[in-house]
Amino acid sequence: MSANVIAIDGPAASGKSTVASHLARLLSIPYVNTGSMYRAVTYAVLQQKIDISDEAAMKELLNNMQLEYKADEAGNFSLSLNGVFLKDELVTPEVNANVSPVAAIPMVREKLKKLQRSLAEKQRIVMEGRDIGSVVFPDAAWKFFVTASPEVRAKRRLDQSRESYSSATLEEIARSIAERDRIDSERPVAPLKQCEDAILVDSSNMNVEETVAFIAERIR
Ligand code: DC
């Protein structure tokens, strides 16, 4: 099943989601953004006001939530939580601020890893996240680690989410990205790190087209 996977990992706001989705379109295969799965769990935690240190409550939440990847009305492969497609709800400042601690919980990672592996059983896919090449598909056919300088990443996040961040300064955004990287890299389970066999893609000085072309060239 790993042979079906092109894994794209990297830190927050490195541009990897845009690159991964364009690459998938170029190859005419589905694109799966695993960050949105962690965000969906975080959204449910916030909605139900669950204390994430309460193991029993977290277990109940995970057992009762129906998280699926399926075609939406437009035919795009999208994430649905209990039958409802989620989008803007996943990128609020509240979800941004709480997703890293939620993603550090082993029980949450186990549940999402199973879902992620099941998606690659029947088809070739581009899957993007933090631990796709290191943990979810260690034998992935292709592994890329996409990154960019902290300044470029803060600017990209600002451009991408102008509304949610309307009152925030570039500095604040850079700080919140750095904090998320720190939690993601220091967690004991599946930390964010470049695998030895992943190809490093520094997109600081490349636009989306150039980055996609760089990756596609290696795959070809
Ligand atoms: O890619 P993103 O910013 O939407 O990811 C949101 C959070 O989810 C990020 O802080 C780390 C976590 N994440 C993870 O731990 N493992 C993944 N495979 C994808 C995301």
- Same domain (yes/no): 152, 205: yes
Confidence check: pLDDT of 163 > 80? no
What's the pLDDT score for residue 136?
96
What type of residue is 35?
G
Segment among 89-93, 131-135, 169-173 with least mean pLDDT: 169-173
CA–CA dist 120, 127 (Å, integer): 9
Give the residue-averaged pLDDT of 117-143. Answer: 94
136 Cα–ligand 1 center, Å? 13
| Structural domain total, the chain | 2
Neighbours of 164 (CB within 10 A): 16
Which DSSP helix (H) or strand (E) runs through 202?
strand 199-202
Residue 170 in contact with residue 177, Cβ under 8 Å? no
CA–CA dist 43, 82 (Å, integer): 12
CB distance 156 to ligand 1 below 6 Å: no
- Same domain (yes/no): 113, 182: no
CA atoms within 13 A on the CB side of 26: 19
- Same domain (yes/no): 161, 198: yes
What's the pLDDT score for residue 88?
93
- Same domain (yes/no): 198, 210: yes
Instruction: Indicate yes or no: pTM above 0.75.
Output: yes
pLDDT digits (tens, 9 = 90+) for 167-211: 568 888 888 888 888 988 898 888 888 999 999 999 999 999 999
- Same domain (yes/no): 1, 21: yes
The radius of gyration computed from the CA coordinates of the chain, to the nearest angstrom, equals 17
* Share above pLDDT 90 across residues of the chain, in percent, rounded to a whole number: 69
What's the pLDDT score for residue 172?
85
- Same domain (yes/no): 15, 42: no
* 3 state SS of 75: coil
- Same domain (yes/no): 112, 194: no
* Single residue among 122, 140, 173 that ends a domain in this structure: 122
- For the chain, first and last CA: distance in Å? 20
- Same domain (yes/no): 109, 141: no
What's the pLDDT score for residue 201?
97
CA–CA dist 147, 196 (Å, integer): 15
- Same domain (yes/no): 214, 130: yes
Q: Residue 87's domain is classified under what CATH number?
A: 3.40.50.300
**Which residues pair with residue 78 across a beta bridge?**
70
Give the residue-averaged pLDDT of 87-104. Answer: 93
Residue 211 in contact with residue 19, Cβ under 8 Å? yes
- Same domain (yes/no): 129, 25: yes
Instruction: Pick the atom of ligand 1 nearest to 13's CA.
Output: 3
CB distance 32 to ligand 1 below 6 Å: no
Neighbours of 16 (CB within 10 A): 27
- Same domain (yes/no): 175, 138: yes
* Single residue among 122, 138, 156 that ends a domain in this structure: 122
Residues 6+ apart with CB under 8 A from 169: none
Tell me the two tokens of residue 37: 């799965």
* Single residue among 122, 156, 188 that ends a domain in this structure: 122
Confidence check: pLDDT of 75 > 80? no
CB distance 184 to ligand 1 below 6 Å: yes
Give the residue-averaged pLDDT of 125-153. Answer: 94
Q: Residue 105's pLDDT band (boundaries 50, 70, 90)? A: very high
- Same domain (yes/no): 213, 110: no
What's the pLDDT score for residue 76?
76
Nearest CA to ligand 1 atom 4: 35
User: Nearest to residue 31, comparing CAs of 126, 121, 113?
Assistant: 126
133 Cα–ligand 1 center, Å? 14
Give the residue-averaged pLDDT of 120-146. Answer: 94
CB distance 100 to ligand 1 below 6 Å: yes
Residue 100 in contact with residue 184, Cβ under 8 Å? yes
Residue 19 in contact with residue 146, Cβ under 8 Å? yes
Its domain, for residue 201, covers: 1-30+125-220
| Packing angle of the helix pair 35-47, 93-103 (nearest 10 deg) | 110
Nearest CA to ligand 1 atom 2: 35
